[in-house]
């Protein structure tokens, strides 16, 4: 059996990196090679002050760990799981099969097939087992979707989200105004 534990409040090496003893969001990925894509999700969650854990779970190389991670996530207080994988990207779908928590899949672009292989592997789930799939390499949107889910029951987070959305709007309006002058 695989021991699952969260490690303090610092980014110390361990089985699961966590920004808090009670993380709300789990970020998992099939390989450390996915980290360059998946780190954007961590950046957004940090910006919104959402505690999260982050680790590597591979559907194919560590199947027992995937089962243990998924089964124990609700008891750790995880409310949504962001799962990134490339190629034969079975991790998000298998995690969704193993837990009732919402799973957001991030198709990671590999060295061949432009990430379309990952996208199709993640998005084509059978009826009954949903995975919310974001665009290829767009882990930013995965984090924002998790934040939208959590904000339903968190007024402070909803307010930060409103500010973020208003900030995007004013950025675009500023650019439009510059273009028009
Ligand atoms: C997938 O295979 C991983 O999610 C990664 O995107 C891809 C390649 O993994 P590595 O060979 O780089 O470890 O399972």
Q: Which domains does the chain have, with CATH numbers?
A: 17-153 (3.40.50.1970)
Beta strands in 25-175 (DSSP E): 25-29, 52-56, 80-86, 103-108, 132-133
Average pLDDT of the segment spanning 103-121:
96
- CA pair distance 51, 41, nearest whole angstrom: 12
Residue located nearest, by CA, to atom 12 of ligand 1: 33
Distance between Cα 148 and ligand 1 center (Å): 28
Spatial CB neighbours of 90, under 8 Å, sequence gap ≥ 6: 59, 60, 121
Closest atom of ligand 1 to 118 CA is 6
Q: Is the CB of 33 under 6 A from ligand 1?
A: yes
Substitution candidate for ligand 1 out of 31, 91, 95 with most atoms within 8 A of CB = 31
Closest atom of ligand 1 to 84 CA is 4
Please report, rounded to a whole number, the percentage of residues in the chain having pLDDT higher than 90. 82
Residue located nearest, by CA, to atom 13 of ligand 1: 31
- Tell me: the pLDDT tens digits for 61-70? 999 889 999 9
Average pLDDT of the segment spanning 148-159:
98
Please give the backbone phi and psi of residue 45, each rounded to the nearest 5 degrees, phi first. Answer: -65, -40
- Tell me: the pLDDT tens digits for 10-49? 333 335 677 777 899 999 999 989 999 999 999 999 999 9
CA separation, residue 93 to residues 77, 90, 108 (Å): 21, 6, 14
Residue located nearest, by CA, to atom 9 of ligand 1: 31
Please report the pLDDT score of residue 19 as a whole number.
Answer: 73
Q: List helix spans (H) across 83-154.
A: 91-98, 116-123, 139-151
* Entry pTM: 0.91
Please report the pLDDT score of residue 3 as a whole number.
Answer: 37
Q: Is the CB of 31 under 6 A from ligand 1?
A: yes
């Amino acid at each position: 059996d695989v021991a699952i534990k969260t490690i303090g409040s610092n980014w110390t090496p361990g089985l699961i990196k966590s920004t808090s003893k009670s993380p709300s969001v789990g970020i998992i990925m099939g390989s450390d090679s996915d980290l360059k894509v998946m780190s954007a999700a961590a950046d957004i969650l940090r910006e919104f002050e959402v505690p999260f854990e982050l680790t590597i779970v591979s559907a194919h190389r560590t199947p027992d760990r995937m089962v243990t991670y998924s089964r124990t996530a609700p008891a750790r207080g995880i409310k949504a799981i962001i799962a990134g994988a490339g190629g034969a990207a079975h991790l998000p779908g298998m995690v969704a099969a193993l837990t009732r928590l919402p799973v957001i899949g991030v198709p990671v672009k590999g060295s061949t097939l432009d990430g379309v292989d990952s996208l199709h592997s993640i998005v084509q789930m059978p009826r009954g087992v949903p995975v919310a799939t974001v665009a290829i390499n767009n882990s930013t949107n995965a984090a924002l979707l998790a934040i939208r889910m959590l904000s339903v029951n968190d007024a402070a987070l909803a307010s930060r989200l409103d500010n973020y959305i208003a900030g995007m709007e004013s950025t675009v309006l500023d650019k439009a105004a510059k273009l028009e002058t």
